[in-house]
């Protein structure tokens, strides 16, 4: 017999039998072998100062540790405080993955708003209240927040990027290797909007389900809003699901989204970086997009002296030879393949000196 009983189906309105329960807000919590962190995570749900009705929807994805014991212990405490706890899951030999678990947790929940929580993270007491207020004002947006990283110095550049993007950069910097500009562990949105965009991809381990959903959200015209308070302790550890996704998989999705979302607006463009990353982007583009590349630009005198980049693997004859120029001699718009926050400010100073507008004259792809 399974540990997870089926939820009884609600009778039609006005009929006999139990009426469907409705909750204002559901915290969505997928769990897989989360024993080291669950006490702190579930305690943070109990500490929320949100005054509306709230439920916690947990889906246990084949945990083999003591996760279920901890969940059962907290169920009593949470329900004693008026927070309904819905538990689903399976005890198959292997997990089905984060996308599947989130979809299941959402399907068994009933809230009009969804607050996503990872089992290794900790919410600040005001998280649900402040993000809910933002979601009411922005019904077709994903609402995020600033985070505090644990351990504090584990991903300093990434954490700065998460917390300090300007509001317009939440939309212009969606192509970088950092992934979604509003990060998944902070997501909050209405159920109606999730249903319009979703569900999550259920491909399992190695599938960037958050990035795929994020791209679909943007395709559907969704907005991005960040509450500028640190509302989540965002944990970094080697077992995190993020580490199972290959960089090449992410790269392919990013290039395709750049070609779909940005490049159609430009007749021609310049790739800023004549080095490895710039050349890799050029080679990854479809033939139609490669034709739009009028130049590479750089600050490296050796690359500029060479004068051009020859695409040796091209089937075209003659093989494409793309000029390599100094950045001041190059024409925008630029797709920038230089990593931010790594050159002591030298690259950022060069870019600022051109007085360009991000989104119109350049995009970051680093």
CA-wise closest residue to 172 among 221, 224, 226, 213: 224
Q: Is 346 exposed, middle or buried, given 0-12, 13-18 or 19+ CB atoms closer than 10 A? A: exposed
**Domain end position, chosen among 219, 245, 271:** 245
Rounded to the nearest 10°, the torsion over CA 332, 359, 154, 279 is -40
Q: Are 59 and 30 in contact (CB under 8 A)?
A: yes
Give the sheet arrangement for strand 23-31, strand by strand: 84-90, 54-61, 23-31, 111-116, 188-190, 141-150, 223-235, 122-123
* Residues in the chain, total: 366
Residue 119 sits in the same domain as residue 259: no
Q: Say yes or no: 213 and 261 in one domain.
A: no
Is the pLDDT at 267 greater than 50? The verdict is yes
pTM of the model: 0.91
- Do 150 and 47 have their domain in common? yes
The mean per-residue pLDDT over the stretch 186-201 comes to 98
User: What pLDDT score does 224 carry?
Assistant: 98
For the chain, the first-to-last Cα distance in angstroms comes to 50
Quote the domain boundaries for residue 254.
Answer: 248-364
Q: What is the pLDDT of residues 271-292, one digit of tens each?
A: 999 999 999 999 999 999 999 9
Domain identity same for 330 and 214? no
Band (206; pLDDT cuts 50, 70, 90): confident
Q: The CATH number of the domain where 283 resides is what?
A: 3.40.50
Q: Choose one of 245, 274, 299: the last residue of a domain.
A: 245
Residue 165 is part of a domain; what is its CATH number?
3.90.550.10
Task: Report pLDDT for 179.
Answer: 94
Is the Cβ–Cβ distance between 173 and 165 less than 8 Å? yes
């Amino acid at each position: 017999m399974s540990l997870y009983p089926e939820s009884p189906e609600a009778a039609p309105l006005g009929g006999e039998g139990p009426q469907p329960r409705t909750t204002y807000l559901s915290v969505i919590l997928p769990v897989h072998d989360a024993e080291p962190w669950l006490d702190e995570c579930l305690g943070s749900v109990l500490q929320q100062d949100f005054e509306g009705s709230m439920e916690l929807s947990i889906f246990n994805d084949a945990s083999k540790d003591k996760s279920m014991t901890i969940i059962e212990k907290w169920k009593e405490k949470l329900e004693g405080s008026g927070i309904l706890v819905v538990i689903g899951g399976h005890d198959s030999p292997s997990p089905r993955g984060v996308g599947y678990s989130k979809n299941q947790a959402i399907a068994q929940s009933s809230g009009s708003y969804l607050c996503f929580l990872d089992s290794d993270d900790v919410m600040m007491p005001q998280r649900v209240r402040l993000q809910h207020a933002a979601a009411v004002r922005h019904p077709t947006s994903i609402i995020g927040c600033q985070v505090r990283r644990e351990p504090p110095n584990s991903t300093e550049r990434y954490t700065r990027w998460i917390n300090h993007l300007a509001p317009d950069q939440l939309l212009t910097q969606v192509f970088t290797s950092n992934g979604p500009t509003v990060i998944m562990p902070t997501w909050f949105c209405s159920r109606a909007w999730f249903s319009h965009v979703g569900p999550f991809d259920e491909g399992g381990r190695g599938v960037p389900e958050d990035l795929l959903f994020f791209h679909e959200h943007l395709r559907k015209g969704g907005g991005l809003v960040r509450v500028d308070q640190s509302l989540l302790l965002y944990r970094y550890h080697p077992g995190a699901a993020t580490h199972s996704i290959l960089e090449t998989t992410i790269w392919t999705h990013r290039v395709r989204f750049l070609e779909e979302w940005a490049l159609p607006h430009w007749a021609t463009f310049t790739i800023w970086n004549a080095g490895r990353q710039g050349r890799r982007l050029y080679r990854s583009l479809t033939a139609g997009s490669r034709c739009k590349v009028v130049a590479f630009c750089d600050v490296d005198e050796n690359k500029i002296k060479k004068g051009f980049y020859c695409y040796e693997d091209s089937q075209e004859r003659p093989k494409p030879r793309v000029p390599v120029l100094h950045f001041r001699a190059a024409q925008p718009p630029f797709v920038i393949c230089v990593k931010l926050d790594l050159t002591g400010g030298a690259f950022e100073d060069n870019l600022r000196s051109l007085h360009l507008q991000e989104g119109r004259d350049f995009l970051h792809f680093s």
